[in-house]
Amino acid sequence: MTVRVVVLVSGTGTLLQSLIDNLPEEVTIVAVGSDQPGAVALQRAEKAGIPTFAEPLPRADADQRVTMRAAWDARLTDDVSRFDPDLVVCAGFMKLLGTTFLDRFGGRTINSHPALLPSFPGIHGPRDALDYGVKITGATVFIVDAGVDTGRILAQRAVPVLTDDTVESLHERIKVEEREMLVEVVTELAGARPGTQELGTEPSRKDPQ
């Protein structure tokens, strides 16, 4: 059975490229979507012959923000639904998913994050790890819920923090682990029939060498 995957992206698409290059033939990326119409990641998908779509979130005044975001979430849900995915993978997707999306795809939408959750959630995981002075950080793959990086953890990999690390150097080493781990998790979930609430009941972890 072929497992259908939609990947959501916002940036350059290095996580996406790892999925394109390394997923087994039983897993098919049926579409790649972005909130950024000019995202390099969409070009990667097009080069690989994968259908793409863009659903930008319009700017809105404070009094319209909630309404606009809800409408965007509904449109994104419709966009993804057209491809009938078994699994949705957020690979560097920088927007929070809303109620409509999670009502449709909750339990089968996963995300990766460059920190060992629950530590350092949000968009500045590597920077926050350096600022706090931890000796080990890493990457996490988790099931998306309504919170900010609060969903059930599926896998983690630890990355040591070096004394001369910058945000950039640390983030690059985390990305190496993140790419490999995301491929492994998607492959495992594909074998476990994505779409059920029983996916990844036992988190996997890899300690630093």
Residue 94 is assigned to a ligand binding site: yes
Residues 53-90 have pLDDT tens digits of: 999 998 877 778 889 999 999 999 999 999 999 999 99
Domains recognised in the chain with CATH numbers: 3-116+141-156+183-204 (3.40.50.170)
Residue 1 is assigned to a ligand binding site: no
Residue ranges of alpha helices (H) inside 36-139 are 40-47, 65-81, 99-105, 125-132
Does 113 qualify as catalytic in the annotation? yes
From CA 101, how far away is CA 50, in angstroms rounded? 22
Residue 97 is assigned to a ligand binding site: yes
Of the residues 4, 104, 113, 157, which is catalytic?
113
Under 8 Å between Cβ of 127 and 118: no
From CA 57, how far away is CA 89, in angstroms rounded? 19
Query: Whole-prediction pTM value?
Result: 0.89
User: What is the reported pLDDT for 152?
Assistant: 96
Residue 47 is assigned to a ligand binding site: no
pLDDT at 208 over 70: no
Residues 104-154 have pLDDT tens digits of: 999 999 999 999 999 999 999 999 999 999 999 999 999 999 999 999 999
Under 8 Å between Cβ of 4 and 28: yes
